[in-house]
Amino acid sequence: MIGKLNHVAIAVPDLDAATALYRDTLGAKVSAPVPQPAHGVTVVFVELPNTKVELLHPLGEKSTIAGFLEKNPSGGIHHICYEVEDILAARDQLKAKGARVLGDGEPRIGAHDKPVLFLHPKDFVGTLVELEQA
């Protein structure tokens, strides 16, 4: 069902410092900050040869990333994203196997302008999993 690893998302308390770390220390290609008001985050995309890293920073009062950073003030891995060919078929197959889809269970458009769903971390060994339609 799952395809390639699309990205690993890391919540960061200081987006400029995290961007500089990936760009200047690790030598990665990084994007400019991209505000995502619908998701309550500002994102910097770190391009790697085989995947991406998303640096997430809170945007707005309702940002779930702000809550994550309150519990993890130094930041940390927030979620992992896998690609799927058909997000609705993947959702239905996962729900039939007992997995919980967060929210209303309907895909919404994610930071890469593609349909996404999130799966409950308690069903995936403590990891918040995002599925993105390839």
Options 70, 83, 106, 130, the catalytic residue:
130
Sign of the dihedral through C-alpha 64, 36, 88, 124:
negative
**Distant-in-sequence, close-in-space partners of 105: CB < 8 Å, separation ≥ 6:** 91, 95, 117
DSSP state of 118: E
Task: Say whether 130 is catalytic.
Answer: yes
Alpha-carbon distance values, 3 to 18, 29, 85 (Å): 28, 24, 8
Residue 108 identity:
R
Residue 112: exposure state from Cβ atoms within 10 A (0-12, 13-18, ≥19): middle
Q: Which residues are catalytic?
A: 130
